[in-house]
A and B are shown apart, each in its own frame.
Chain A
Amino acid sequence: MAHTGVLRPGFIQLRVLDMPAAIEHYTKRIGFHQVTEGPDGRVYLKAADEFDHHSFVLRRADAAGFDLMAFKVREEADLDRFEKRIVDYGYAVDHVPAGEMPGIGRRIGWTLASGHRIELFHHADQSEPKPRSHNPDVWVLEPHGMRARRFDHALLYGPEIETNLDFFVKVLDFSCAERVDMPDGLLAIWLTAGMKAHDIAFVKYPEPGKFHHAAFELENWNDVGNAADILTRYDISVDIGPTRHGITRGQTIYFFDPSGNRNEVFAGGYTYYPDNPTRTWDAEQVGKGIFYYERQLNDAFLSVVT
């Protein structure tokens, strides 16, 4: 197996202000399914095209934003191997027992220099709806809403992203697919554990632990157009798009959930191979890198976070 260690994003947990409004948004508009609600009120969601128990967790709170993001590792023993490497790097690692989230085995967690909690897990039960694995149809339940196929990636904002870059590459074996360098230093990094253009990205920001967006993968540009129709029909707050990123080449819309957490629908994006060079952007061209058609950042890109 060429792909070992950290496989991909497993799930993200976000804080929402209004749980019923959040559930309606993520199930009816994004197109996810609710798997279950836990005894502590957290709600677990997934796309019908995902096998594992859930990929998106909502927690009701007084402030919107990011709780944690967890990556799935290939083997159970990877958890112990990575724990040693993370501790050797200098981060305190804690243990979350199996069952703290329904359907998920034991997890290890720690806090990045940017203030974000990251976790690793190996075991996940599967849950319905999920794709069939013998003579499979393209879908079992017809896609609805924006027809999201998976939770794809997240962009997080915080300080010391140079340290995050070093950590993800040296300790978690990620690759840096793209980066933006400004005259005063590193502004942003796009990191991948596999062959997607990115699994997680960071932008430099003074306040730790902030959240820019969570992205949902769509099948194609036509589905991005369908998502745009849904955004207007249901008066969902739009940030920018439909447009395209120069970085990753993804076709995209940025918009907001009912608690002000930014969402993205994302289609396309190039295939990254681990021998590819890191693509670099400078201050003069970063506008085209972020929003390829507008060729400039909008007011919200560097300042609006939860």
Chain B
Amino acid sequence: MRTETAEPSSGGKGRPCDPAEDRAPRRVTITLEGHGEAIGSTEERVLVALERAQAFGKLTGLTRRLPVGCRRGGCGVCRARVIAGDYRLSATSRAHVSQAEEDEGVVLACAIYPLGDLTLRLEPKRLEKNGRSAEKSQGGE
């Protein structure tokens, strides 16, 4: 289910991003489940807030560094699942998040903007038999 409201509510719900919409940025707290919190903004990609938190030592216990790739929804390495909170979706490659997954809150962290406080966990793609999409767990599971 998608939500068309900008108000925070429970559950990971997305809606398409409208870049023309003019919003005053609001400060939000982004929680990376089990690893710490980042201060973000409603006008900033979630992954960018997490990168900054990592640089300030606010994320702990990741087995490797935060998975950062293209930051534009194309490469898929920052795949995650939103546990709680609402967000806007920007362009995301279907190669990495199917429509069914999108409906249940799977996102690329670089391709969502929080609408309020947000909790997510990293969810790299599973290894497939042919070696495709072999992103290893980044400690988020």
Hey, which bits of chain A sit against chain B, CB under 8 A?
17-18, 21, 62-65, 206-207, 237, 239, 256-262, 299-300, 303-306
With A64-B93, A64-B95 as given contacts, are A207 and B72 in contact (CB-CB < 8 Å)? no
8 A Cβ contacts from B125-141 to A: 130-135
- Assess A237 versus B70: contact at CB under 8 Å? Given A206-B131, A207-B132, A207-B133: yes
Which residues of A have CB within 8 Å of B1? none
Beyond A64-B74, A260-B73, A306-B70, 17 additional pairs, beta carbon < 8 A: A17-B73, A17-B74, A17-B91, A21-B91, A62-B93, A64-B73, A64-B75, A206-B131, A237-B70, A257-B72, A258-B72, A259-B91, A260-B74, A261-B70, A299-B68, A305-B75, A306-B95
State the 3 A-B residue pairs at the shortest beta-carbon distance, nearest first: A260-B74, A260-B70, A206-B131
Measured between beta carbons, the chain B residues less than 8 angstroms from A262 are 70
Q: A62-B94, A303-B135 are in contact. Are A259 and B74 (CB under 8 A)?
A: yes
Sample 12 A-B pairs with CB under 8 A, ordered by A number.
A64-B74, A65-B74, A65-B93, A206-B132, A259-B73, A260-B75, A304-B70, A304-B77, A306-B70, A306-B74, A306-B75, A306-B95
Give CA–CA (A281, B72) in the complex, Å.
32
Chain B residues numbered 78-95 whose CB sits less than 8 Å from any CB in chain A: 91-95
A300 to B95, CA, bound (A): 18
Q: Which residues of B contact A (CB under 8 A)?
A: 65, 68-75, 77, 91-96, 130-135
Are the C-beta atoms of A237 and B71 separated by less than 8 Å? yes
- Could you tell me if B133 and A261 are in contact, using CB atoms closer than 8 angstroms? no
Closest Cβ–Cβ distance, residue A262 to chain B (whole Å): 7
CA distance A63 to B134 in the complex (A): 18
Whole-angstrom CA separation of A70 from B74 in the bound complex: 23
Chain A residues within an 8 Å CB radius of B74: 17, 64-65, 256, 259-261, 306
Chain B residue, CB-CB nearest to A159: B131
Please, which residues of chain B bring their CB within 8 A of the CB of A65? 74, 93, 95
